[in-house]
A and B are shown apart, each in its own frame.
Chain A
Amino acid sequence: MITLATYPVIVLRSGTGYRRRKTTNVLMLVITGLLTLAALIPLFWIISYVLYKGGQYINLAFFTQMPRPLGMEGGGVLHAIEGTLVLTLLAALIAIPPGVIAAFYVAYNPNKPLGVAVRFGTDVLSGVPSIVIGLFGYALIVKAQGHYSALAGGVALAILMLPTIIRTTEEMIKLVPHTLREGSLALGAPEWKTALSVTLPAAANGIITGFLLGLARASGETAPLLFTALGNESYEIGRIINSGIAGKQGIFAILDRVLDQPVDSLPLTLWKYAQQPFPERISQSWAVALVLMLIVLLLNIVARLWVQIQTNRLQGK
């Protein structure tokens, strides 16, 4: 008689017969595969439907013209395309320098209290709901300035990008071989010079990844812009640049005019158009969805391919 002690606990707990256990095994493994397939259904459903619907309404005018008045056919979303560019580039400019420098600290001091705290802070920041970031942008800038502006929207998006940039840069800095850094230090180069002219170029590709992923997230976000950038259907950079008094055409005067007024972005436009009872606006919102989806998916795929290639390169494969 077999005693409990000699009988493997696992076999006992899983019940009777070998055949039943085999059947359960195959059944459950197949179910996990089916679940994976099921989860991909929405992905292909959304992508194909947006391609189908948006593809019908997309044309050159869509990219090059300003919106027409409500109820009129045609027109485009030039204002939102320009707005998205302004907002995301501004956000990247604000977020990248401090993010990259902070990443150096976190990568080289992972066990110091501040390093641990900053990593935790980055996690917290990446978990803050985007609508709350919008409220923060409102309280920080819109309230102080007294009006909605592209600047406020850019800052809100920058906060959203920051954790991604820090995380990816930190990972890449850690992947740079120690010998490279030690070699530079041994030659007498100070720490900062080593960081800027040895480690940073070696990790530059990782920073590009962080930039692309951050851009992908920022260009798809709506909630932080609702009460910072607000939206502006007559935003046209060409007109804004030419609108100043002849004598005040300095780069800063122009920048000030570009950043100081409310601005639209593609997701913001999509959200507004989708709620309007005009069929041509609904059709245009599908076209906007198509453009937006392509931008975000492409940025993601490129960033992932890039990180794969660079990781292999740094690991010497």
Chain B
Amino acid sequence: MKISSVARNLRRILHYGDRPWNALTMLMASGVLLLALAIGWLLLRDSSQARAAFGWQFILPTRDASWNPVFDKFQAWPFIYGTLLTSLAALVLAIPVSLGIAIFLAEISPAWLRVPLGWMVELLAAIPSVVYGLWGIFVFLPGVVTPIGKFLENTFGKIPGLALLFQGPIPASGASRLAAALILAIMIIPTIAAVSRDVFLAIPRAQREASLALGATQWETIWQVLIPYGLSGILGAVILGLGRALGETMAVTMVIGNSIEGSPSLLRPGYTMASIIANEFAEAVSKLHTQSLIGIGLALFVMTLLLNSAARFLVWQVARRTPQEARA
């Protein structure tokens, strides 16, 4: 008697179980948000001593910054500089190539070639970072980076102003910030190309037709109509690529030479924020050392967070402006 009434109640709850189900989906969905917050919070918590000990000096540009586990004095500027320099150099190289690919895939390529080419470009992003690193050490460094480095050193190394950036000598192995920048460029091209291709595809057909009808050539249409129209989306794609470059760890650690030296030159070995964490965290000497490395991780997290928010906002703006039916 009692059991059957419990069963009936249970059946009722299960049959009309929409409330528990909705609560569950909502819970799991907010779990994702909580996870993102938890990452920030734990990094904040576990770097508190380092932040208290060094303050803003930890991340601000400093001359003769020290990173000294023996005396427990840590300043992260050289690594932030390394990250910014390699990522920006990678962007300079990657933007024209990626835009070329995006234009070719969206506007020019014959339809049968579009899908396989797009796949191949995206497969470039799927190759694991360590495989890039291994190829980098044994093939890319001696075969490509060293000759390019020598050339840059001889061409720009003596021009005042540029000399600081292109001061040699590039190490015999080729391991340098330049190597990191070149590998990063290869790794972020697929990201920038794929997102900007989607931006081009989202531009209404009428824009192209109007421009062509006014007598513009196809290139003039692309350069003077499509690119200005999708500019914020392309900017978003570039920022996404930058975010990826900032956080890239393994390939960069394997080719950048991992050296803490004063030279700001692109042709000298260095460190990035991600590569110092990868190299030192497991063997950190003191508690403050560990905390300082987590502090670098926090800075990296905040940088990528801001960049990603900006990028998503820009891409979203283009998508919002274009009604679905009007797309090419």
Chain A interface residues toward B at CB < 8 A? 8, 10-11, 13-14, 21-22, 24-25, 28-29, 31-36, 38-40, 42-43, 45-46, 49-50, 98-99, 101-102, 104-106, 108, 114-115, 117-118, 120-125, 127-133, 135-136, 138-140, 143, 159, 162, 166, 190-193, 195, 216, 220-223, 226-227, 230, 267, 270-271, 274-275, 282, 285-286, 289, 292-293, 296-297, 300-301, 304
Interface size class of B (residues with CB under 8 A): 35 or more
Which one of B20-28, B52-60, B162-170 is at the A interface?
B20-28
Partner of A120, one of B26, B127, B243, B312: B312
Which one of B63-71, B248-256, B260-268, B317-325 is at the A interface?
B248-256
Task: Tell whether, in the assembled complex, residue B277 and residue A270 are in contact, meaning their CB atoms are under 8 Å apart.
Answer: no
Which one of B94-102, B147-155, B201-209 is at the A interface?
B94-102
Task: Tell whether, in the assembled complex, residue A192 and residue B18 are in contact, meaning their CB atoms are under 8 Å apart.
Answer: yes
Task: Tell whether, in the assembled complex, residue B28 and residue A25 are in contact, meaning their CB atoms are under 8 Å apart.
Answer: no
B85 at the interface (CB under 8 A from A): no
Residues of A contacting B189 with CB < 8 Å? 39
Task: Tell whether, in the assembled complex, residue B121 and residue A39 are in contact, meaning their CB atoms are under 8 Å apart.
Answer: yes
Residues of B contacting A139 with CB < 8 Å? 42-43, 45-46, 294
Task: Tell whether, in the assembled complex, residue A102 and residue B32 are in contact, meaning their CB atoms are under 8 Å apart.
Answer: yes
Q: How far is the CB of B20 from chain A (nearest CB, A)?
A: 8
Partner of A136, one of B39, B103, B282: B39
Residues of B contacting A120 with CB < 8 Å? 309, 312
Task: Tell whether, in the assembled complex, residue B281 and residue A105 are in contact, meaning their CB atoms are under 8 Å apart.
Answer: no
**Alpha-carbon gap, A178 to B293, bound state (A):** 50
Q: Is the interface of A mostly helix, strand, loop or mixed?
A: helix
Task: Tell whether, in the assembled complex, residue A98 and residue B31 are in contact, meaning their CB atoms are under 8 Å apart.
Answer: yes
Q: A39-B193, A98-B28, A132-B247 are in contact. List 7 more A-B contacts (CB 8 A).
A: A102-B25, A120-B312, A124-B308, A128-B304, A132-B300, A159-B35, A223-B278
Q: Residue on B with the closest CB to A220?
A: B128
By CB atoms of chain A within 10 A, which of B42, B126, B130, B250 has the most? B130
Contact status of A286 and B134, CB under 8 A, knowing A38-B97, A128-B39, A129-B274: yes
Task: Tell whether, in the assembled complex, residue A296 and residue B281 are in contact, meaning their CB atoms are under 8 Å apart.
Answer: no
Q: How far is the CB of B211 from chain A (nearest CB, A)?
A: 6
Chain B interface residues toward A at CB < 8 A? 15-18, 20-22, 24-26, 28-33, 35-36, 38-39, 42-43, 45-46, 96-98, 100-101, 103-105, 108-109, 117, 119-124, 126-135, 137-139, 186, 189-190, 193, 211, 214-220, 222-225, 240, 243, 246-250, 254, 274, 277-278, 281-282, 293-294, 297, 300-301, 304-305, 307-309, 312
Q: How far is the CB of B42 from chain A (nearest CB, A)?
A: 4
Residues of A contacting B43 with CB < 8 Å? 132, 135-136, 139
Partner of B219, one of A24, A162, A190: A24
5 contacts between A and B (CB under 8 A): A28-B223, A98-B28, A127-B243, A222-B129, A297-B123
**Alpha-carbon gap, A166 to B31, bound state (A):** 12
By CB atoms of chain B within 10 A, which of A31, A271, A301 has the most? A271
Residues of A contacting B243 with CB < 8 Å? 127
Task: Tell whether, in the assembled complex, residue B104 and residue A10 are in contact, meaning their CB atoms are under 8 Å apart.
Answer: no
**Alpha-carbon gap, A293 to B131, bound state (A):** 7
Q: Residue on B with the closest CB to A195?
A: B21
Contact status of A14 and B249, CB under 8 A, knowing A28-B219, A43-B120, A125-B32: no
Residues of A contacting B130 with CB < 8 Å? 220, 222, 267, 270-271, 274, 289, 292
